[in-house]
Structure 1
Amino acid sequence: MSQPTPQVRAAHLQLLLAELLESAAASGPGAPFVPDPVRWRVQRSHRLAWLPAEDLVAICVAAEAALGRDGLERWGAGVLRRLLRAPLFRAFYEAALWFERREPGVLLSYAVQSWPLLYQDCGGLVVEARGDDFVRLVHQPVPALLRCETTLLPLLGAMAALPRQCGVEARTEADWRPDRERFVYTISW
């Protein structure tokens, strides 16, 4: 039996690409190298289309080359901020902030619920535990394609950016290895 093909929503890849181009332009001359077939497929696809997760990896590799390993988390945070400015998400986010009194744990729990809207066959993401000052998430089964720092660090950056939107500084930790299908992320503030 063959494994399902991991896919990512085109709208998410379009946000990643737009943030990469903007971040790289701010960092200095030279555009990041995203292979033409990937860039064209992402830019020309309908926002709701599913594209291969290999496109996500190619964009993350380009981000690492343009921004450096240390820039991957900042890039992920920028993507989250860009997502929160999008009309549909902005309305949902502002309502959640108002109803939940800027509670990072609740907002992170809500964000986890949007995972299947953006990722298909990329492993499930669930809240394992939540306290007053932390959320622990479990991501499994993580496909082999996504078991690398190049895709992990932007995700951690996005996760840490959400508590920052609530006015608190966040830290992230990841318990992961490339040979395991189960990753655990802890976001604390």
Structure 2
Amino acid sequence: MLRRARLLAVLGFLIAGGIGIISSTQTWITVQRADTEQPLLVAGADALALLAPLSLAVLALGAAMSIAGRLLRYVFAVLGGAGAIVLILGTLPILSGAPLAAVAPALTEATGLSGDKALGSIVTALEPTAWVTAALVAWIVLLLASVFVLGTAHRWKSGGRRYEQPGAAHHEHTGPLDPIDSWDELSHGTDPTGPSR
């Protein structure tokens, strides 16, 4: 399983970030209003302001983790875990009973009213949708993936030759070079067609 540890961790981050981005454009809360039979649909990004930016950050962390060295793996895991906790704490109140504050900006834009008393007088029900549950599951996956990275990152294989620092593992070739080795030599500032060949 450790051979696939990096893949599992990266997938955890990417899936969580992807669900977060998708859900930010979907309806999170349906607002039933006393002044009209037409409900107001509040998107995830409106209900939870940090949803889209943190989801994008999680996607970036997942992509970067696929090539990160050992120290950065731990940094990314801590950042991912912190983001997961923030998102869980932001999502739980909406799932357990959407607060008026989560829909206030959208409701003010739709009605022109502001203030808890005025808005509360026209709201008859706040109903969270399945996207809130999906997002919460995604944040739990992200938290588990972050813990998994912290527990296993020291045993992951390195990123491979193409991601190493120039010169860190560079050595002179003594045999014939294939096209990829020739490009690597050029990247290190060595002419593969020079007289030493």
Larger Rg: 2
- Normalising by the residue count of structure 2, what TM-score does the alignment of the two structures yield? 0.28
- Normalising by the residue count of structure 1, what TM-score does the alignment of the two structures yield? 0.29
Q: Which has the higher contact order (CA 8 A, sep 6+)?
A: 2
Higher strand share: 1
